Amino acid sequence: MIQNLCKYRCLVKRLAVSDFNVRYKNSVLGFYWSLLEPLLMLMVLDIIFVDVFQSTPKNYHLFLLLSIVLWDFFTKGTSMGLSSIISKPGLVRQVYIPREILIFSSSITALIWLCLNLGCLVLS
């Protein structure tokens, strides 16, 4: 499996970048939505836990934003990895590539989103 990943590393890179570009291609905000999504979730959870339940532990906002970003990485990586083979039937049927390449490239795409979100976390 590792040999296949090394052999097809250019394909993995191209599929990961393609998945990243296609995801937000027709949206109004583009890839900025992937940066705004955790911040909007932070606002909602902040209103609920700080204003309604009046709970403010030390470094609450940092902890909350980090947990949102990591959970988003886990859910996107898992769901994209599971649906990667089904979502690309033409590529699976017409060209021989190991199936794990598709799953790995989807995980790389989720890792790109994680890096962008962590960049926002560092800036805030």
Contacts 24+ apart (CB under 8 A), 11-16: 11/97, 11/101, 11/105, 12/101, 12/104, 12/105, 12/108, 13/105, 13/108, 15/101, 15/102, 15/105, 15/106, 16/105, 16/106, 16/108, 16/109, 16/112
Residue 26 lies inside a defined structural domain of this protein: no
Domain count, the chain: 1
Residue 5 lies inside a defined structural domain of this protein: no
pLDDT above 70 (res 69): yes
Residue 25 lies inside a defined structural domain of this protein: no
Mean of the per-residue pLDDT values of the chain? 83
Residue 48 lies inside a defined structural domain of this protein: yes
Domain residues for the domain of 59 are: 11-20+31-123
Query: Span 74-85, mean pLDDT?
Result: 88
Query: Span 68-92, mean pLDDT?
Result: 86
How do residues 54-68 score in pLDDT, each as one tens digit? 777 777 888 888 898
pLDDT score at 124: 63
pLDDT score at 27: 74
Residue 102 lies inside a defined structural domain of this protein: yes
